[in-house]
Amino acid sequence: MNLSFLNPLFLFGLAAGVIPILIHRLTKRNAVTRKFSAVRLLLRSQQAMARPQRLKHLLLLALRVLAVLSLVFLMARPVLTESGWLMKGSGVPRVILLDNSLSMGYREDGGDRFALAKRAAREMIEGSQGKILLIPTVLIQGGAVDWLHPGEALRELDQIPPSFGRGDPGPALDLAYRKLKELKGAGEILILSDLTRGDWEGFGLAGIKNLSGETAITFIRMGGMERDSNRAVKEVNLAEGEAVVGVPLRFEATVSNLSDQPVSSLVQLYLSGVKRAQKSIDLKAGAEGKIYFEHSFDRPGWVNGEFRLSNDR
């Protein structure tokens, strides 16, 4: 077992343990020696009382230091982890559910989530000695999944592409349980996903027919706990006019803010790859808004239109 910390930067606060010692030294009162007449018996009794009093002060000082160190230790959030958790169960069959839905293309500081998930899956496969089953949450049409040796699984992992579809974890998890059941032995399931609401809000165990209590299942979340700053062009309509040369047109775009924070975004209109106009729109959390663009074509022919959002991750 290894001891690790979720907030290791708080460990610098251990230096605060010297504060009670400094306070003790600064507030310590030095006795002033004064000569009196014969008080021998009084001096002896004072020496007998000083030793327990000093021990009491030292114990109080130790408790104060311990209280400060304990507070810092708790703020650092210690956790006990098994050494090499990716090696856990390395000899048992391992199913890796890889979320390849559209939301996994969201870019984190270290790269997009799908690339981060693939990197984690590679470490799991390299640390395994048993059979590996790779299942994407957006199944490739016509693609079959089967048990592979680690070397084969690494090559298969490189072939799994990101998709533009919505993930469906229910059937993927049911397939994982069914494949483990065919082996007639214990196994483990590792799920690499950003756990976005669109994919997981309708998920339930009721639709899984092959549940097994012998199978260990671990969720590994890619990304933070908060909802992403997600915006989307939900709908585009031709509000006014006709697609005729010289006739003014008015496009209507509906923009949705799917996050839990207000956002300000720049909406850009591209026609045949050329930016023609742009406007700003402010949206509250979970709100929708409409924005309009005017344009007229100066020549006939096919035109490809596109609305883009600035800083879209």
b/e code 6-26 from CB counts within 10 Å (16+ = b): eeeebeeeeeebeebeeeeee
Query: Angle 113-126/150-159 helices, nearest 10 degrees?
Result: 170
pLDDT of residue 128: 84
pLDDT of residue 140: 65
What is the CB neighbour count within 10 angstroms for residue 134? 22
pLDDT of residue 31: 60
CA distance 172 to 138: 8
Find all residues with CB under 8 Å of 27, minimum gap 6, and list them.
Answer: none
What is the CB neighbour count within 10 angstroms for residue 295? 15
pLDDT truncated to tens, each residue of the chain (313 aa)? 567 776 778 888 888 888 888 887 777 666 656 665 555 555 555 555 555 667 777 888 889 889 988 898 888 877 665 544 444 555 788 999 999 888 888 777 777 889 989 999 999 898 888 899 999 988 766 567 889 999 999 999 998 988 887 788 888 888 888 888 888 777 889 999 888 777 777 777 666 776 766 788 888 888 766 656 678 888 999 888 888 888 888 999 999 887 778 888 899 999 988 999 999 999 888 889 999 999 988 888 888 889 988 765 5
pLDDT of residue 80: 64
Diameter of the chain measured on Cα atoms: 122
The token duo for 52 is 């327990």
Contact criterion met (CB below 8 Å) for 159 and 177 = no
Contact criterion met (CB below 8 Å) for 249 and 220 = no
pLDDT of residue 97: 92
pLDDT of residue 47: 55
pLDDT of residue 194: 86
Q: Is 206 left (phi over 0), alpha (psi -120 to 50) or beta?
A: alpha
Positive or negative: CA dihedral 230, 233, 235, 240: positive
Catalogue all structural domains in the chain, each as residue range(s) with its CATH number: 2-80 (no CATH), 85-221 (3.40.50.410), 231-309 (2.60.40.10)
DSSP letter at 161? P
pLDDT of residue 2: 66
CA-CA distances (angstroms) from residue 172 to 121, 158, 163, 279?
16, 19, 15, 42
Q: Is 195 left (phi over 0), alpha (psi -120 to 50) or beta?
A: left
pLDDT of residue 34: 62
Cite the beta strand spans of 151-248 per DSSP E. 188-193, 216-221, 231-240
H or E stretch covering 24? helix 19-26
What is the CB neighbour count within 10 angstroms for residue 159? 9
Q: What is the dihedral of CA 297, 302, 304, 305, to 10 degrees?
A: 30
Count of alpha carbons within 13 angstroms of residue 175, beta-carbon side: 19
